Amino acid sequence: MGEPIHYDGSAFKAKTRLVKFLHQELGFSVIAFESGFYDCYKAWQEIQAGKLTIDAARKSLYPFWISTETQELFAYIDQQKNTDKPLILAGMDCKFSGPYSDESLLPDLRRYLQAVHSGLVQDTAKWRAFSASLKRAVAISDYLTKPSPADTLVLNTAFKGILAELKATAVSPTARLPDHLFWQQFCRSALAEIAKKFAKSDEQVRDRQMGDNLVFLQRELYRDRKMMVWSASSHLTYNGANIERKFYHQNPRVGDYLKQAYGEHYYHMGFTGYRGEFGKLLFFHVLNVKKHKQNSIEYLLEQTKQPFLFLDFRKPALPQWLREPLIAMPFGYRETQMRLPLVMDGLFYTEAVYQKHWIPPSVPPGPK
C-alpha cells in the first residue's frame, strides 16, 4: 500500500481501514513499514512485552506516521497482540529510523554476540571502536551525511565478520532461531546502509536492500505469512520505463525486486486524490493539490462525484483508454505521465485530500 507523500492524512486514514480489513477478512498478519529494520523488530518485542504500540511506534517509525489518522491502527495492534491472530509490526528500511537504534541496538547486539561467543565482543578494543563507529553511523542515518572513511572501514569489516561468524555458528540451546536469522539479516541491511552513501546511486542500494529485507521477513522470519507493506508509492512501483520521469528509468524500485521475487503474488496499490492539501514538504508548511488536467486520471475520476473509488488494474478487458499513457499524481502529487496498469496493480482514489495531524507525546503528570 503506497502513499503519494508522507504527509497525506487522507491516504493514512484509508490505509488504516484497509489494514484492518486485510487482517480480519483475508488473513494478512504482518504490517511492514518503510522504517528501520532493527527499530521495528525491537518495537514488536516491546509491544509483546506490554508496551503500548503508539509508544513503541514513536521509537521506531518515522515520525510523520504518528498521527491521528494512524492512531486507530496502533490501538488495533494493541487489541490483537494477545490473540491467536496478532498483527505483527515489522520494518523494511536499512536506515536507522528511531530512538531504539540509539538506545538499544548496541546492548541488544552485544548480548546476542556474547550468547554465541563472537570474537568481536571478546576483543575489548575492537568492540569499543565498533561501538563508537556504529553510534556515529546511527546519528547520521539521513539522506545527506556520509559516515567517515574510518568509520566505514571499521563497520564494514566488523559486520562482515559478524555475518560470517553467525552463518558458521549453529543455533545454541540458549538462542532462538528467529533471533539468529534476524541478526544475520541485520548485518546485511547495515552493510547496505553504510555502502549506499558511497554508491553511484544510493537510491538503488536502499531500494534493493528494502526489497531483500521484505523477502527475508516473509520467507524466513515470519515464514509464509501474508504481508502488507506501508510505504511511499515511489518505492513500491515497478516497470519504471512506463513512467515518463528519468529517475524511474535509472533506479529500480522495491516493487521491481518484489515483482521479481513474487510475480503476480505482489500487488501494489497506489493512492491519489483530487482536491485539498497534503501537508508540509521541506520548508513549505502546506502544499495544495494542483488543478488537474483533463487528460489526468484524477480529473476523470472526479467526474463520478464519488468520495472514494478503487480501480483494480488486474481486471480482465480493461478499457483501451486506461491502457494508454495518462497523467496521474500518485508520486508526490506531481503530474507525471505513465501507463498505470503497467506500474501498479490498483489505484485507490479519495476526492478530498487533507494533511496528517501529528500527535504530540503525552506528558506524564507531575507531582501534586
Q: What is the DSSP string of 316-362?
A: SS--HHHHS-EEE-TTTT--EEE-HHHH-SEEEEEEEE-B--B-PPP
Residue 238 and residue 166 in one domain? yes
Q: Secondary structure of 3-18 in the HEC alphabet?
A: CCCCCEHHHHHHHHHH
pLDDT at residue number 289: 74
For 181-194, the pLDDT digits (tens) are 999 999 999 999 99
Does residue 246 register a pLDDT over 80? yes
Grid coordinates representing 288?
495544495
Average pLDDT over residues 219-247: 96
Domain assignment of residue 268, yes or no? no
Does residue 143 register a pLDDT over 90? no
Partner residues linked to 228 by β-bridges: 31
Residue type, 360: P
Residue 182 and residue 281 in one domain? no
pLDDT at residue number 202: 64
Residue 101 and residue 195 in one domain? yes
Poorest-pLDDT segment among 105-109, 119-123, 138-142, 330-334:
138-142
pTM for the structure as a whole: 0.93
* Strand spans (E) along 147-239: 226-230
pLDDT at residue number 103: 97
Confidence bin at 172 (pLDDT 50/70/90): low
Residue 121 and residue 200 in one domain? yes
Does residue 14 register a pLDDT over 90? yes
What contacts 276, CB < 8 A, 6 or more positions away? 10, 288, 289, 352, 353, 354
Grid coordinates representing 2?
503506497
Average pLDDT over residues 129-157: 91
pLDDT at residue number 367: 55
pLDDT at residue number 23: 98
Average pLDDT over residues 38-55: 98
Residue 294 and residue 235 in one domain? no
Of the residues 207, 238, 263, the one at which a domain ends: 263
Q: Which of 183, 186, 178, 258 is nearest to 220 (CA)?
A: 178
Does residue 363 register a pLDDT over 60? no
pLDDT at residue number 88: 98
Domain assignment of residue 76, yes or no? yes
Residue 305 and residue 255 in one domain? no
Residue 282 and residue 259 in one domain? no
pLDDT, greater one: 284 or 157:
157
Confidence bin at 114 (pLDDT 50/70/90): very high
1/348 Cα distance (integer angstroms): 9
Confidence bin at 147 (pLDDT 50/70/90): confident
Of the residues 218, 244, 263, the one at which a domain ends: 263
Domain assignment of residue 21, yes or no? yes
Average pLDDT over residues 289-300: 87
Do 205 and 192 form a contact (C-beta atoms < 8 A)? yes
pLDDT at residue number 361: 82
Of the residues 219, 238, 263, the one at which a domain ends: 263
pLDDT at residue number 195: 85
Confidence bin at 224 (pLDDT 50/70/90): confident
Residue with cell 494493541: 78
Average pLDDT over residues 204-225: 95
Segments forming the whole domain that contains residue 206: 9-263
Partner residues linked to 338 by β-bridges: 243, 326
Residue 68 and residue 153 in one domain? yes
The count of domains in the chain is: 2
What contacts 214, CB < 8 A, 6 or more positions away? 32, 92, 227, 229, 254, 258
Do 357 and 293 form a contact (C-beta atoms < 8 A)? no
Return left, alpha or beta for 348; rule: phi > 0 is left, psi -120 to 50 is alpha, else beta. beta
34/93 Cα distance (integer angstroms): 6
Residue 148 and residue 36 in one domain? yes
Residue 258 and residue 280 in one domain? no
Poorest-pLDDT segment among 106-115, 140-149, 236-245, 267-276:
140-149
Partner residues linked to 90 by β-bridges: 32
Return the half-sphere exposure (C-beta side, CA atoms, 13 A cut-off) of residue 49: 8
Long-range Cβ contacts of 256-259 (<8 Å, 24+ apart): 256/207, 256/211, 257/207, 257/208, 257/211, 257/212, 257/215, 258/211, 258/214, 258/215
323/164 Cα distance (integer angstroms): 48
Mean of the per-residue pLDDT values for the chain? Answer: 92
pLDDT at residue number 360: 84
For 56-95, the pLDDT digits (tens) are 999 999 999 999 999 999 999 999 999 999 999 999 999 9
Do 185 and 216 form a contact (C-beta atoms < 8 A)? yes
Residue 227 and residue 172 in one domain? yes
Residue 71 and residue 182 in one domain? yes
